[in-house]
Amino acid sequence: MRAKFDEQLAELNNTLIEMAGLAERAIADAAKALVTQDTDLAEEIIAFDDRIDSMENEIENMCLKLILRQQPVASDLRMVSSILKMIADLERIGDHAGDISELTLLLADKQYIKKLEHIPQMADAAMKMVTDSIDAFVRRDLKLANKVIDYDDVVDDLFVTVRDELIVLINENPKNGDQAMDFLMIAKYLERIGDHATNIAEWVVFSITGTHRKHQAASL
């Protein structure tokens, strides 16, 4: 019985890694499409979100079958329930990549008011957080999970930098306002991706320790 459970759990982990890889690809391609104003790529990312949604449903079904058929012990149940939480965040990451791509389409025929520098840096930082959070789960690496949580400050600081630069551009020329607001929304979506990666890392910590910092804080 235990051997069968371990086999199914390994399959579940592999599928989770695959879904995370799709989310990382969506972030990378969304940033690339934005910088290069590649409308074909942007449209691909929007359509690609359906594949991420499908994987969420697949993993959810795998988790529920594992719980119902294998009757896992407390530590295993904690791991499976953590995966259920994590895939919800991965699905939202895919949504935000699609949101960025929709704005890319709106901006496609316009000359950008500034060279994009910090927004691609935000995308790189967000991708690192997603990659490291899943690596931490697979390797049961509590130290790495906590590093991801701390690294969210990098994304937040970059958001502030982008916001401040856009405010300056609006003050210099009010005609920059509409495009500046679009870029601010893109930066906000990337900040949210960082938040979702943080959520994943927090569920990794819970899966290992049985303690979730936000839930624990709420009960104090």
Which residue in this structure is represented by tokens 């982990």?
13
pLDDT average, residue stretch 20-29 = 96
The two three-digit tokens of residue 41, written as one number: 């790529």
Most distant CA pair in the chain, distance: 68
178 CB-near residues (< 8 Å, 6+ apart): none
pLDDT tens for each residue of 116-169:
999 999 999 999 999 999 999 999 999 999 999 999 999 999 999 999 999 999
pLDDT at residue 220, as a whole number: 37
55-67 mean pLDDT = 93
Instruction: Report the C-alpha gap between 111 and 210 in whole angstroms.
Output: 51
CA–CA gap between residue 133 and residue 139 (Å, rounded)? 10
The stretch 67-86 carries a mean pLDDT of 86
Residue 143's domain is classified under what CATH number? 1.20.58.220
Range of the domain at 210: 2-219
From the list 9, 132, 143, 15, the residue with the least C-alpha distance to 79 is 9
> pLDDT at position 124, please?
97
pLDDT at 104 over 50: yes
Which pLDDT score is estimated for 216? 54
Residue 133 amino acid letter: S
114: left (phi over 0), alpha (psi -120 to 50) or beta: beta
Residue 182 has pLDDT above 50, yes or no: yes
Q: What is the Rg, in whole angstroms, of the alpha carbon atoms belonging to the chain?
A: 19
Question: What is the spatial distance between Cα 168 and Cα 20, in angstroms, rounded to a whole number?
Answer: 36
In the numeric block, the tokens 């906000």 are attached to: 188
Domain total of the chain: 1
Average pLDDT along the chain = 93
Quick one: average pLDDT of 20-43?
97
- Name the token pair of 121: 């840096």
Task: Read off the pLDDT of residues 1-11 as tens digits, 9 standing for 90 and up.
Answer: 567 777 888 89
- pLDDT of amino acid 74: 80
